Chain A
Amino acid sequence: MRIGLSALLLLLFTFLQVPAADAATDAATCLSCHSTMEGAVNVNQEKYSKSVHGSFDCVTCHMTPKGDQHQGLTGTTPDRSVKEIAAKLAPKGLKDPIAMAACVGCHPDIYKAYLDSIHAKNIIVMKSSDGPVCTSCHGSPHYIVARPSMESKVYLFNIVTTCGACHEEKSMTEKYGFSPLVMERYLESFHGRKLKLGHAGAPSCASCHGAHDIMDVKDPKSPVGTVEAKKKTCGKCHPGATDKFVAAITHQPMHPIAHWTEIGLIVLTVSVFIFIITHVLLDIFSDIRNRLFRKGGNH
């Protein structure tokens, strides 16, 4: 009797805690907990439903929900290719590599391009945790919005900040020998300024370097890898780009000649400024003096 009651209570409890097993494939079920949870496991229901993936069930990507709290929930069975991809991404130390690998299910071409990239090679071949996976650049897949939106992390201007998250890092620039001022030099260039002001034709990082299949700039396959490649890439906006023209952009720190020219011009501007301010102020004082004390004296 007692055992029977306990069993009944347990059954009832289970029913209350974990909804019917087959309901687990429903996003609403997951969100009933995850939309109110704090921290990394939180999913903002409203933003999720507005994202491009908003119509998906959670288990489309989170195929194997782990932990006791998910007991009784049915996931989906990842097929071999997803498991393989997840294993390849292991150096990245992801919390749910299967979910990351699941992107490939719908975006196989992008994955193929990504595999060629210096980013993917660093993770998969060099087994380094440096280098982006899908979410590093696109942000949480729960909130991905279509690209022509200021909300998107890969929207023209935002992509500069997104790339900068790693390429501006001192540890990264030293480890991989990037130009330490690549972001600063881009941002102060005409390209960066125009982009900031909303010029739709201004190039961001990916416009010249490529995106998913991005190559090392020393790789001849990179769109900026060789002079010939640069001429083609620059030529998209600057028809007839010459050898000398494409040499202009290096993202390297300013050359001393340019640096000292700038200093010289600033000194010139400041000196002229000081001189004319002094001149005008003295002129004003003498004008006042004349009017007060030398009435009509000069006229």
Chain B
Amino acid sequence: MEKNIPQEIERFDISARIQHIIMFVTFLILSFTGWGLKYAYAQPSSAWIKVWGGAKMAGIIHRVAGITMLLDFIYHQFYLLNLWRKKDLRLTIIPMPKDVLDLVHNFLYFFGLRKDPPYFGKFSYLQKFDYWAVYWGMFIIGTSGFFLAFPVTVSVLFPNFTLGWIWDVVFTMHSDEALLAIVFILIIHFYNEHLRSEHFPMNWLWLTGKMSIDTLKHHHPAEYDYLYGKESERRKK
């Protein structure tokens, strides 16, 4: 072996880990408080909102958490800029045509039509989807949330012909896309990082930032090859 292969590699630096923690803590708070309002007429909602200190307090908590999340998101853009400035930024998270092929490949693999799983890079298509879903969420839920939090200020921005429906659209965007985000996180993220037999009860990566070389090789073979060369990979086999 020409290159020294370590036992584990750092996948997320400390800044990324903290960003993630702020993101999921605010996400949970927003989901919990928002859920009560979305399903205000369902039976346990009034009691649930009382847990958060009543409708008024729940509203304040929701706004504070929302603004914190937006700031976290904005900070992430500066974090990326900084990586780029230090020439540390690899564009591994950008969706590529290969991701579509990987998706088809993965389904064939699920059905037993391909023997090996796709040759995933640093991030699989699902992880890319997960990452960009946050951008989608920030755009749709973040802006609509901002509109709803400051309706008087924002109202002057809307052209007259939109006034009859814009608030319904904003409200629907906020509420339905939030549900989409919750459902997505609850299913994909919980399965992949918590329930998956190899990770249960959770993937400790969120705290350590480290991924074992075996996992890397197994789940992100292209990244492994990129880092340590195909040759060593072949020799190891």
Residues on A lying within 8 angstroms of B by beta carbon are: 187, 190, 192-194, 196-202, 238-242, 244-245, 247-248, 250, 252, 254-258, 261-262, 265-266, 268-269, 272-273, 276-277, 279-280, 282-287, 289, 291, 298-299
**A273 vs B187: C-alpha distance when bound (angstroms):** 9
Q: Which of B2-10, B21-29, B49-57, B85-93 is near enough to bind chain A?
A: B49-57
Nearest CB of chain A from residue B133's CB, rounded to whole Å: 9
Q: Which residues from 114 to 143 on chain B have a C-beta closer than 8 Å to any C-beta of chain A?
A: 116-117, 126
Pick from A199, A238, A273, A286: contact of B109, CB under 8 Å: A286
B152 touches A197 (CB 8 A): no
Let me know if B218 is at the binding interface, CB within 8 A: yes
In addition to A196-B46, A244-B160, A282-B111, 15 A-B residue pairs with Cβ atoms within 8 Å of each other are A196-B41, A197-B36, A202-B55, A244-B155, A248-B163, A255-B168, A258-B168, A261-B168, A269-B183, A276-B187, A277-B187, A279-B188, A287-B197, A298-B117, A299-B218
B209 to nearest A CB, angstroms?
23
B205 at the interface (CB under 8 A from A): no
The answer to whether B155 touches A242, judged by C-beta atoms less than 8 angstroms apart, is yes
Closest B residue to A262 using CB positions = B172
Question: Judging by beta carbons under 8 Å apart, are B50 and A198 in contact?
Answer: yes
A299 CA to B196 CA in the complex, in Å? 16
CB-based contact B46/A282 at 8 Å: no
Closest to B159 in A: A244
Alpha-carbon gap, A218 to B18, bound state (A): 56
Among A240, A242, A245, A286, chain B packs the most CB atoms within 10 A around the CB of A245
Question: Contacts A197-B36, A197-B55 hold; do A258 and B169 have CB atoms under 8 A apart?
Answer: yes
| Closest-CB distance, B12 to chain A (whole angstroms) | 23
On whether the beta carbons of B176 and A262 are closer than 8 Å, the reply is yes
Smallest CB gap from B217: residue in A: A299
Q: Which residues of B contact A (CB under 8 A)?
A: 36-37, 40-41, 45-46, 49-50, 54-56, 58-59, 107, 109-112, 116-117, 126, 148, 151-152, 155-156, 158, 160, 163-169, 171-173, 176-177, 179-180, 183-184, 187-188, 191, 196-197, 214, 218
Are A201 and B164 in touch, CB under 8 angstroms? Answer: no
In the A-B complex, list the 3 residue pairs whose CB atoms are closest, starting with the nearest. Answer: A255-B165, A199-B55, A258-B168
B residues near A245, Cβ cutoff 8 Å: 151-152, 155-156
Chain A positions within 8 Å of B45 at CB level: 196-197
Question: Is B49's CB under 8 angstroms from A247's CB?
Answer: no
* A272 contacts B183, C-beta separation under 8 Å: yes
Q: Which residues of B are found within 8 Å of A187, using beta-carbon distances?
A: 41
Residues of A contacting B158 in the complex (Cβ-Cβ under 8 angstroms): 244
Q: Could you list some 14 contacts between A and B, CB below 8 A? A: A197-B36, A198-B55, A244-B160, A244-B163, A248-B155, A248-B166, A250-B164, A258-B165, A262-B176, A265-B173, A279-B188, A287-B197, A298-B116, A298-B117
